[in-house]
Structure 1
Amino acid sequence: MAELCSSMPTSGGLYYSSAVLAPPGWGPLAAWITGWSNWLGQITGAPSVNYGTAAMTLAAASIVNPDFVPQNYQVYLLTVLLMIIHACMASLPTKTIARVNNFGSSFNIVALVVVLILIPAGTNREEQGLPRFTGSKEVWGEIYAGTDFPSGVSILMSFIGVIWTMSGYDSPFHLAEECSNAAIASPRAIFLTSAVGGTFGWFLQLVVAYTVVSIPDALESDLGQPFAAYLVQVLPQKTVLAVLALTIIAGFFMGQGCMIAASRVTFAYARDDCFPFSNIWKKVNSRTKTPVNAVWFNTSVGCIMLLLIFGGSLAAGAMFSIGAIAAFVAFTTPIFIRVFFVGNRFRPGPWNLGKFSIPIGVIASAFVILMVPILCLPSVVGSNLTEATMNWTCLVYGGPMTMIMITHDVGTRS
């Protein structure tokens, strides 16, 4: 993706790359698949992140006051409040947004390092009659299934969490038109975001694996937030609240970043008249020089989507799974086209992978082709599978896209 950004640094980003790189006659279809997937991933990003942040905030309140049990309407209202705050922040001038992002990114890295140190240093497992850390044999030798499928499939299905948390690194692509030296700065930001996030995320997973007491208890806790429930298992209350505070602030900045990226995607699509009333959403505010209308359009759509909270955890979880899969389809489609249809005819920008470009693109494409069907599977099978436990991701993601394609004859070759 960083290569594509360096070659074509535009707010449209991925869908523009797909249209340009696609074989003659296939540009509209490639752009539509990428554009729909990217917009769906972006539009669900801020709501899902803010939903997680709100749930974690209310879980912290429950830890302080065990009699407090968060209700759905409280989660919804707090999430909407975060959405509105982020919309205001995303409407500010670009220089102000840059300063906020610089602070937020720095804070998130520092907070993650502190958490990585704080959890193993402060764990109270020994006070519970357990060893300070779970043995490596148990950590690496036993697989927590989590689903009714065989262990191998369950492991692959667990990637949904990783894909969701690693799905925001295309943001610099969509902000390319608002930064200087975009052909180098934006791809560098994409690379550093994914590399740093992936590395520190791996270490966090190791910390959790070596300290967690009971995975089922964390998932089924009345707190309604598995990470908060895990912290309660392994840390004293004051340390739990300190870690949660850092995590909540980090989540706040993450949600703000998602809101900005999504608004720039909507602006770029409206600029190409992809939406109804595009003339409204593509307007740039004369004072802030930012697409304020697109920001508030996304905010409105997000607040409507958040009504899924009242449908229960499965319905709310749809925001996570759909957004994650859609994002990775959007990321990989132009890479797939570049690798298998363009090859050496691709004109790289100043930031590129050189001879490693094609092999890395092949691996990335193969991974997504494997994972998309896996992540559409339900967690249960047989008699346990009902309408309530079914995974409707493929229908919600693919249904509207297919209907609109048929209605507007998007796939017709020209």
Structure 2
Amino acid sequence: MAKHVSDEPVTSVLPGGDIPFSSTHEFSADEEVLAALGYKSEFKREFSLFTTFCVSFAVLGLLPSFASTLFYGMGYAGTAGMTWGWVIAMVGIQSVACSMAELCSSMPTSGGLYYAAAVLAPPGWGPLAAWITGWSNWLGQVTAAPSVNYGTAAMILAAASIQNPDYVPTNYQTFLLTTFIMLIHGVMSSLPTKTLARINTIGSTFNILALIVVLILIPAGTDRESRGLPRFTSSKEVWGDIYAGTEFPPGISVLMSFVAVIWTMSGYDSPFHLAEECSNANIASPRAIVLTSAVGGTFGWALQLVVAYTVVSIDDVLGSDLGQPFAAYLIQCLPQKLVLAILALTIIAGFSMGQGCMIAASRVTFAYARDDCFPGSSYWKQVHPKTLTPVNAVWFNCGIGILSLLLIFGGSVAIGALFSIGAIAAFVAFTTPIFIRVFFVGDRFRAGPWNLGRFSLPIGAVASGFVILMVPILCLPSVRGKDLTAELMNWTALVYGTLMLGVLVWWVVDARRWFKGPKVNVEHMMLGRDGAERSGCQ
């Protein structure tokens, strides 16, 4: 016997006693949960736990993510940051993932963290909490695909440079190639849900297999010995030496290197945004979140160890003319044919990752447009009648992403801001509802079927503390004092801060008058004191 919609274990934005109702439609189990949150089902539920995990793991894209952020992970603290630094960072990240999964089980909707912030905030503060969380999350999502695709394009051009040493990629060529990849992903992300699930299953499977192959190929194929070096660097050197990649104390440098871990591991929120397309969402989606973070963290650390034990010269990796540190690292320790083979695997995995990012971002844009957060929301929230996917949202994000790629012409530091902005924006969005849940909610939170039990508040406190520590760290430049110039400045605080300040000014000047948080779009009836009587009259 199916539960009544009012009995679903959800924490809903609906006022107390407000029960969704339809006299012409019998809710399925998933529709019932969504209706209890105030929404009608608009997508086909063709994602399962496995296919949701596949999209999420594709967005995580460990191999291309690692390759794209090696400059920060290795460049700030060297191999120490890549080994024990990764483990420390993963404690905080896994705490965030588990706390997020608990929220997802209680509120399995595409609005995700934005919806959770609105529901959990103290009375009167819900719209502002949703506004800040939503815009921060959107900034992280909309910069994900262009930053991933920029890394992929840079690897393609680096491979061309390896084959032809006389060729030096230009910013103009990198921009055009990245834009071309963005347009391909826009077309692919506009396909029907079932097709997307199949594509991402293939892509995620390839990502996992490529990662395993690379984990085997690098230590098995390294030619360090032919260069007069031991096959692997000693553990004492790998774990003990902190590379002086910044002008800050060693401990701060290790914390600064966490930007690579945070950005690499930031895709585990995707199951939350795909919850309305997933069957058995209030269990499958949170499981996919935790599974993505755990599997990604384990495999990611293995990749860090392999590179840390085989890198020859960190200075040469960072200063290579190739413009891609991962390619420069591979040349140091592998024969050229093997270098090109690994780059090919990484490029294909990066292509799949960029497409997964585009899908996840479009669902976030759709959910926020559904609540009229954007100018022109009536257009961006439309679901295509044939594909039953938010095609307009896909191309809206694609256009914004291409515009953000103009940072390429500002140099490596400027385009690098995309990675830092993605990390800090995602972390602020991830943790705002968790922080509210831990310190302000009390017993108002109604746990879903997947929950942390008595460990909920301690794990949430660890997650909140980790993010509070990391947000200012992510804004630090690598140099300071008289050495700090505009070219070496960390532009994260300025770019992210300016955008979020604009969002807050918009709130004060105008948005607070009309934005009231998530908008319900289901028919409903009030079941108050005479609820049972009125229910029987329908």
Partner of 1:110: 209
SS at match of 1:169: helix
CA–CA distance in structure 1, aligned partners of residues 115 and 444 of structure 2: 17
CA distance in 2, matches of 1:201, 1:8: 29
1:405–1:411 Cα contact (<8 Å) kept: no
- Distance (Å, rounded) in 2 between the aligned partners of 1:373 and 1:26: 25
Shifted more, 63-72 versus 225-234: the winner is 63-72
- Quick check: 1:353 aligned with 2:452? yes
User: Is residue 93 of structure 1 aligned with residue 192 of structure 2?
Assistant: yes
Describe the superposition over 1:66-118 as per-residue Cα deviations: whole angstroms up to 9, x where unpaired. Answer: 11111111111111111111111110000000011111111111111111111
1:343, CA displacement in angstroms? 3.5
> How far off its partner does 1:408 sit?
2.9
Q: Distance in 2 between matches of 1:402 and 1:315?
A: 20
State the distance in 2 between where 1:52 and 1:164 align: 13
Residue 373 of structure 1 deviates from its aligned partner by: 0.3
From 348, 354, 370, give the equivalent of 2:469: 370
Does the residue aligned with 1:11 lie in a helix, a strand or coil? Answer: coil
Q: 2:357 aligns with which of 242, 254, 258?
A: 258
Q: What does residue 150 of structure 1 align with?
A: 249
Q: Which one of 148, 152, 166 corresponds to residue 265 of structure 2? A: 166
The secondary structure found in structure 2 opposite 1:285 is: coil
Tell me, in whole angstroms, the C-alpha distance in 2 between the residues paired with 1:209 and 1:340.
Answer: 39
Partner deviation per Cα, 1:216-254 (whole Å, 9 max, x = no partner): 110110110001100010100111111111111111111
* 1:49 CA drift (Å): 0.2
1:191 offset after TM fit, Å? 1.0
The TM-score normalised by the length of structure 1 is 0.98
Whether contact under 8 Å (1:26, 1:411) holds in the other structure is no
Map 1:203-282 → 2, pairs under 5 A: 203-282=302-381
Is this contact kept in 2: 1:41–1:323, CA < 8 A? yes
- Aligned counterparts of 2:214 and 2:443: Cα–Cα separation in 1: 44
CA RMSD after TM alignment: 1.4
Is 2:49 aligned against 1:49?
A: no
Cα distance in 1, alignment partners of residues 121 and 161 from structure 2: 52
| 1: CA distance, partners of 2:185 / 2:230 | 43
| CA offset digits 1:151-179 (Å, max 9, x no partner) | 01111001111111111111111111112
Which ranges in structure 1 are unaligned for 5 or more consecutive residues?
none
CA drift of 1:403 comes to 2.8
Counterpart position of 2:13: none
- Aligned positions of 1:278-297 closer than 5 A: 278-297=377-396
**Corresponding residue for residue 299 of structure 1:** 398
Partner of residue 296, structure 2: 197
Q: What does residue range 302-381 of structure 1 map to in structure 2 within 5 Å?
A: 302-381=401-480
**Aligned-pair CA distance for 1:357:** 1.5
1-side partners of 2:215 and 2:423: how far apart?
25
Q: Does 2:119 correspond to 1:23?
A: no
Counterpart residue number, 2:501:
402
Mapped to 1, the partners of 2:487 and 2:512 lie a distance apart of: 34
Shift of the alpha carbon at 1:406? 2.6
SS in structure 1 opposite 2:142? helix
Shift of 1:404: 3.0
Query: TM-score if structure 2 supplies the norm length?
Result: 0.75
CA contact (8 A) 2:135 2:503 kept: no
SS at match of 1:61: helix
Preserved CA contact (<8 Å) 1:91 1:292: yes
The residue identity in structure 1 corresponding to 2:408 is I
Give the percent of matched residue pairs that are identical in Structure 1 and Structure 2. Answer: 78
Q: For residues 439 and 190 of structure 2, what CA distance do their matches in structure 1 show?
A: 39
**What letter corresponds to residue 111 of structure 1 in structure 2?**
A
| Matched-pair contact (CA < 8 Å) for 1:212–1:233 | yes
Whether 1:179 aligns to 2:285 is no
> Deviation string for 1:19-52 (max 9, x for gaps)?
0000101112211221111000000000000000
Aligned residue for 2:28? none
**Radius of gyration: which is bigger?**
2
Structure 2 gaps, min length 5: 1-99, 517-538
Partner of 1:385 in structure 2?
484
SS of the residue corresponding to residue 290 of structure 1 reads coil
Task: Name the counterpart of 2:32.
Answer: none
Shift of 1:411: 7.2
Moved more, 368-377 or 345-354: 345-354
Letter in 2 for 1:15: Y
The AA in structure 1 aligned to 2:448 is G
Query: How far off its partner does 1:61 sit?
Result: 1.0
The letter for the 2-side match of 1:303 is I
Which residue is 2:66 aligned to? none
C-alpha deviation, 1:342, in angstroms? 1.5
Please give the secondary structure, in 1, of the residue aligned with 2:233: coil
**Partners of 1:406 and 1:306 in 2: how far apart?**
26
Give CA-to-partner distance per residue, 1:342-377, whole Å, 9 cap, x none: 234321111112222211111111000000001101
Q: Distance in 1 between matches of 2:245 and 2:479?
A: 9
Whole-Å Cα distance in 1 between the matches of residues 467 and 350 of structure 2?
Answer: 26
User: Cα distance, 1:388 vs. partner?
Assistant: 2.0
* Aligned mates of 1:344, 1:126 — CA distance in 2: 62
Contact 1:38/1:326 (<8 A) preserved = yes
